[in-house]
Amino acid sequence: MSDIKDLEKQIDELKKEIYELKANAPKDQLSMILMSGDMDKLIAALIIATGAAAMYERVVIFATFWGISFFKDPDKKIKKDMISKAFEIMLPKHTKGLKLSKMNMFGVGPVMIKSIMKKNNVKTLSELIKLAGDMGVEIYLCQMSMDLMGYKWDEIIKYPNIKSAGVGKFLSEAGQSRVTLFI
């Protein structure tokens, strides 16, 4: 009789362990930090995000510092203070004026990449951003970086799944993701 009780106790303990393992298992999602303002890194981030959106249940991009500039609408002009205007002048506007991280060659590199992308039927950056939105890729813009660099919500592109968040939100998402990337 005690053998049966011991066996039942072991089964109950195993059930609890399995429940805890399932509860703490990574979710079917990819989380990505996009910090770079380089064209080649944005291309990679968007291709990875759209590819992952076809594989995973969720894809979350946390854009911070230079990565936020990709989501600024170049046609929206708002009043800014002097420091915010300085950032405005120095940072790229959406996908215009982006440089390559390597081999920029005084602006020739990006022209070459765009030409090669077109020749190989790779979507443009604007098309990749739209595709990401259509596929449900969620984008969180780092509120602290927005505040530091003078970005306002009134100048952000229209995108179906874009929100403001802090580092805690990213850490929460990354902590439960199957894959986490930093670009």
Burial of 57 (0-12, 13-18, 19+ CB in 10 A): exposed
Residue 183 CA to residue 121 CA, distance in Å, equals 24
Share of the chain above pLDDT 70, in %: 99
Q: Is residue 5 part of a domain?
A: no
Q: Is residue 157 part of a domain?
A: yes
Q: How many domains are there within the chain? A: 1
Q: Is residue 4 part of a domain?
A: no
pLDDT at 22 over 90: no
Q: Is residue 97 part of a domain?
A: yes
Higher pLDDT, residue 2 or 17: 17
Share of the chain above pLDDT 90, in %: 55
Q: What average pLDDT does the structure give for the chain? A: 90
pLDDT at 89 over 80: no
Q: Is residue 14 part of a domain?
A: no
pLDDT band at 76 (very low <50, low <70, confident <90, very high): confident
Residue 98 CA to residue 110 CA, distance in Å, equals 7
Higher pLDDT, residue 183 or 107: 183
Q: Is residue 69 part of a domain?
A: yes
Q: Is residue 6 part of a domain?
A: no
pLDDT at 94 over 80: no
By residue range, what is the domain housing residue 80? 26-182
Q: Say if CB 86 and CB 74 are below 8 A apart.
A: no
Q: Name the 3-class secondary structure at 180.
A: strand
pLDDT at 39 over 70: yes
Mean pLDDT for 110-125 is 92
CATH code, 82: 3.40.1260.10
Q: Is residue 1 part of a domain?
A: no
pLDDT band at 1 (very low <50, low <70, confident <90, very high): low
Q: Say if CB 178 and CB 56 are below 8 A apart.
A: yes
Mean pLDDT for 100-129 is 90
